[in-house]
Amino acid sequence: MSNKIEIEVYNPQWEKIFLNLKNVICKEISELVIAIEHVGSTSVKGLGAKPILDIDIVIKDYSVFTRVIQGLENLGYFHQGNLGIEEREAFGRKDNFVPWGEKETNWMEHHLYVCPQESKELIRHLAFRDYLRNHPKLAEEYEQIKRGLAKTAIDRECYTLGKSEFVEKVLEKAIKN
């Protein structure tokens, strides 16, 4: 398995795949969630990205979390814990066909998180996404940074660290507004 980071040009299919994933997840746990949000670079039209969707399932609070875990397990996900980020619970996939739905589909890679509506990480995800959606020049700058890092970073951790200064500056602007 290669550690090479690939940045692809924006693909309109990412939004369609997200909507299909959202639909399957909603069928299982819709009464437990407030929203299912497409976040991360693949959620910004025109922005090149690693072809991995980031999805945040928003719940009111942790009172429903045990039932959310059970519903996601029915679809083939497993709870990984917060992976060091408070109020953001990560879920892995048992196989490439997760979520299991009415038809077998080899889903694209995606990261799935569950966050209470007041989660700082959720607020950051939405603020960053929305700011880039409303500021295409900044999105272009972000893509150039990511493409440069994809060529030079020795691993994903270095890639992520290399983006952090830009991300924090955007978040500072986004959260002020």
pLDDT of residue 162: 96
> What is the pLDDT averaged over residues 138-166?
96
pLDDT-based confidence at residue 168 (cuts at 50, 70, 90):
very high
> What is the pLDDT averaged over residues 33-59?
98
Place of tokens 């994903």: 156
- In whole angstroms, give the CA distance from residue 61 to residue 50: 31
177 within domain boundaries: no
CATH for 94: 3.30.460.10
pLDDT(92) > 90 = yes
pLDDT of residue 104: 67
What's the start-to-end Cα distance of the chain, in Å?
42
86 within domain boundaries: yes
The two three-digit tokens of residue 105, written as one number: 């589909």
pLDDT-based confidence at residue 176 (cuts at 50, 70, 90):
confident
- In whole angstroms, give the CA distance from residue 132 to residue 177: 13
> What is the pLDDT averaged over residues 33-46?
98
129 within domain boundaries: yes
152 within domain boundaries: yes
pLDDT-based confidence at residue 4 (cuts at 50, 70, 90):
confident
The two three-digit tokens of residue 11, written as one number: 């693909």
136 within domain boundaries: yes
> How many folded domains does the chain comprise?
1
3 within domain boundaries: no
Query: For the segment 117-138, what is each residue's pLDDT rounded down to a tens digit?
Result: 999 999 999 999 999 999 999 9
How many residues make up the chain in this entry?
A: 177
Helices (H) and strands (E) in the chain, counts: 5, 5
Boundaries of domain holding 51: 13-172
pLDDT-based confidence at residue 105 (cuts at 50, 70, 90):
confident
Helix axes 136-152, 120-134, angle to 10 degrees: 110
CA angle centred on 135, ends 128 and 168, rounded to 5°: 35
6 within domain boundaries: no
pLDDT of residue 3: 64
2 within domain boundaries: no
The residue among 51, 3, 42, 47 whose CA lies nearest residue 145 is 47
Instruction: Return the H-helix or E-strand segment holding 82.
Output: none
Question: Is the sign of the CA dihedral 15, 21, 26, 32 positive or negative?
Answer: negative
> What is the pLDDT averaged over residues 84-99?
96
